């Protein structure tokens, strides 16, 4: 999965019609992909076509875009439940996937 796959979904989710922010959005998506993968596992094959992974990246990207200011007078909050739930779900899927693939190698 790459930023070009997620970009239309992210723009739709954020209600962005123009292309002015595309480069920044792609950067946010790429960083979110790396972030989610680093929390789950290292084997790229697991993430290919994984809808839970796509949703986690979309959630992370949305949060990063909406909270992109480097300083704010607003209180900070913990990780959103949806993101934490998505990562925990992916970790469990990854362990099962890895165990099944270890048997076939």
pLDDT of residue 104: 62
pLDDT in tens, 35-82: 999 999 989 999 999 999 999 999 999 988 988 776 556 655 555 556
User: pTM of the entire structure?
Assistant: 0.76
User: For the chain, how many residues are written?
Assistant: 105
Reported as a pLDDT band with limits 50, 70 and 90, residue 28 is very high
Question: What is the average per-residue pLDDT within 11-39?
Answer: 94
Which of 20, 40, 28, 21 minimizes the C-alpha distance to 3? 28
The three-state secondary structure class of 12 is helix
Q: Is the pLDDT of residue 105 over 60?
A: no
Instruction: Report phi then psi at 68, rounded to 5.
Output: -90, -5
Q: Which segments within the chain are labelled E, that is strand?
A: none
CATH topology of domain 3-104: Hypothetical protein yqbg (1.10.3230)
pLDDT of residue 26: 96
């Amino acid at each position: 999965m790459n930023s070009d796959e997620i970009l239309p979904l992210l723009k739709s989710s954020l209600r962005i019609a123009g292309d002015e922010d595309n480069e920044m959005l792609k950067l946010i998506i790429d960083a979110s992909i790396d972030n989610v993968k680093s929390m789950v596992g290292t084997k790229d094959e697991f993430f290919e076509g994984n809808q839970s992974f796509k949703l986690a990246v979309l959630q992370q990207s949305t949060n990063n875009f909406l909270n992109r200011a480097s300083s704010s007078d607003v209180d900070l909050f913990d990780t959103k439940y949806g993101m934490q739930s998505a990562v925990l779900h992916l970790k469990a899927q990854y362990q099962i996937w890895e165990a099944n693939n270890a048997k076939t190698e």
